[in-house]
Amino acid sequence: MQGRRRFLGAAGSLAAAGALSGCSTAVGQAFTGSAGPSSLLNFWHPFTGGDGAQLVGMQSGYRKRNPGTDLKSTTLVWGSPYYTKLTLATLGQRPPQVAITHVSRLPTLAASGLLREISPSELDQHGLTAGRFAKSAFRSAHHAGKLYALPLDTHPFVLYYRTDIAKKAGLLDDKGQLTDVDGPDKFLDAMRAVKEVTGLWGASIATVKDPATCWRFFWSLYRQLGADLVTDGGRKVVMDRAAAEEALAYIRRMADQKLIPPGADGDGGAITLLTAGKAGFLMDGEWQLLAVQGAVKDKFDMRTFPRIFRDAPYACAADSHAFILPKAPSEKAQRADKALEFARSMLDASLDWAKGGHIPAWQATARSSAYHHLEPQAHYAEAADGAAYDPAAWYSGADSNLYRRFSDVVSSVVGGHTRPGAGAARMHAALKDLAGMEAPI
């Protein structure tokens, strides 16, 4: 382990250094995380599309309020490429002063010694105390009892629905919102009613070339059964195969009854089925809000993912974006105060972030009348209380090996190639295999 860390540290130094002639430039400093002058604040994030546009506006506000700070904001490719670059830059002692992480990736980053702890005194100094954040999100920002991140949001797996189709199906109440669809049979009945209107599908979901969505679909159902997957940082498998089989069996019921498509992909295919009126429901992340809104205007609404199983507290797959301070070689290079000031500014502006769909973790925003009047965002805000974060393991989290291994099973079950019991066995075998591997750092 130490040998690998030294090797990666050396590789990180080379990768972070880049072309030496370019590192003294503003672009070079932003990419490599070079310490630079005290006025410089390097910020790395993976946000593009609607999220990226919202962030640009939030950063513009920060720049206007802090003319003495030279904020260099760098957008990197989402997923594993982003975390690889962040890891190498930090090991190479060239990290940005502040960066974004999914909290599902936090345990690995923190356990690898890549993050600087945020102290209680710093929280007090910047008005960032625990009570100002959503409880679940703030709890997820800890590792081994220490705080390493400041959550910006909660982004859960939710249910979209076409209001015009739901109305024709008799599924809207007197307020124009979806009637109760909780429970295994009620949700299937609702999908059947919608299918009669669309003539094709009840609900749409991406189960092809979209490991993350397959994972969230399974994880939401599995956690509603109160089951865990691993403990001890991912080294001990405690998977409940009966619960996994039950979750997969419910997914299979949807497919058998032709209520969901067997081959919708994650490159817009699943969303298009909803927006084209070929499905009445869409099961996806709330971050698709702007895409759906742009296509159907006000002919849709959203709510929490249905509570299918009632044997445990409500749960839906979720993650959070959070600000972290990658560990710098010195406090001078770290510039923690400046980084925390920036994070506080972004949190104060998080109503703009919520317009893109994410549930604000900053309670001043979440409890504001402006947020509660934001529709359809306010209609699924309670999902933050039931957020089911990914299990803590190096092979888990956003764009992870766990997603890919479990996704293969979910896709196969939906396609009718694997029975639920055999699928649960495959998941258990995959988990044992991953748990037996040594972490890469």
pLDDT in tens, 36-94: 899 999 999 999 999 999 999 999 999 999 999 999 999 999 999 999 999 999 999 99
- The secondary structure of 76-119, three-state, reads CCCCHHHHHHHHHHHHCCCCCCEEEEEHHHHHHHHHCCCECCCC
**Residue 277 shares a structural domain with residue 219:** yes
Domain co-membership, 173 together with 305: yes
CA 252 – CA 188 distance, rounded (Å):
12
Q: Output the six-digit token pair for 198.
A: 């669309």
Asked if 336 and 241 sit in the same domain, the reply is: no
Residues listed for the chain: 441
The answer to whether the CB of 150 falls within 8 A of the CB of 128 is yes
Please check whether residue 128 is in contact with residue 340, taking contact to mean a CB–CB distance below 8 angstroms: yes
**Domain identity same for 352 and 248:** no
- In a shared domain, residues 313 and 245: yes
Sign of CA dihedral 251, 253, 256, 257: negative
Do residues 145 and 272 share a domain?
no
Whole-angstrom CA distances from 44 to 30, 70, 74, 119, 298 are 8, 14, 5, 22, 34
Alpha-carbon distance of 234 to 301, in angstroms, equals 37
Tell me if 331 is assigned to some domain: yes
Give the CATH number, domain containing residue 75.
3.40.190.10
- Look at the alpha carbons of 295, 381, 285, 287 in this order and tell me if their dihedral is positive or negative: positive
Kindly tell me the sign of the dihedral angle through the C-alpha atoms of 140, 141, 143, 144: negative
Looking at the structure, do residues 222 and 264 belong to the same domain, yes or no? yes
Q: Cβ-count burial of 169 within 10 angstroms (0-12 exposed, 13-18 middle, 19+ buried)?
A: buried
Question: In angstroms, rounded to a whole number, what is the distance separating the alpha carbons of residues 192 and 165?
Answer: 12
Instruction: Compute the distance between CA of residue 273 and CA of residue 268 in angstroms, rounded to an integer.
Output: 9
Clarify whether residues 57 and 206 are in a common domain: no
* pLDDT for res 36: 82
CA atoms within 13 A on the CB side of 154: 34
Question: Which among 161, 229, 286 has a CA at the least distance from the CA of 428?
Answer: 229
Which residues in the chain show pLDDT less than 50?
1-33
Residue 189 and residue 200 in contact, taking contact as beta carbons nearer than 8 Å: no
SS3 call for 155: strand
172, 185, 190, 379 from 182: Cα distances, Å: 14, 8, 10, 15
Cis peptide before 81 (omega within 30 of 0): no
Residue 242 CB contacts under 8 Å (≥ 6 apart), including other chains? 424
Query: Could you give the 3-state DSSP secondary structure of residue 441?
Result: coil
Domain shared by 213 and 344, yes or no = no
Contact 357, 155 (CB under 8 A): yes
pTM: 0.92
* Number of separate helices (H) and strands (E) present in the chain: 20, 16
If asked whether residues 304 and 171 sit together in one domain, one would say yes
What's the domain range around 196? 157-317+390-435
The two three-digit tokens of residue 247, written as one number: 């979750």
- Residues 310 and 327 placed together within one structural domain of the fold: no
Instruction: Calculate the alpha carbon distances from 361 to 43, 58, 139 in Å.
Output: 20, 16, 11
230 and 111 in a common domain: no
3-class DSSP assignment, residue 368: coil
- Answer whether residue 441 is part of any domain: no
**What's the domain count of the chain?**
2
Nearest alpha carbon to residue 107 among 320, 393, 318 = 393
Amino acid (one-letter) located at 217: F
Question: Which residues neighbour 64 within 8 Å (Cβ) at sequence distance 6 or greater?
Answer: none
Q: What is residue 236's three-state secondary structure?
A: strand
Task: Tell me the residue type at 181.
Answer: V
Angstrom CA distances, 347 to 10, 56, 119, 173, 385, stand at 35, 14, 18, 36, 19
Amino acid at 405: R
Q: What type of residue is 429?
A: A
Query: Is residue 46 assigned to a domain?
Result: yes
The 3-state DSSP class for residue 291 equals helix
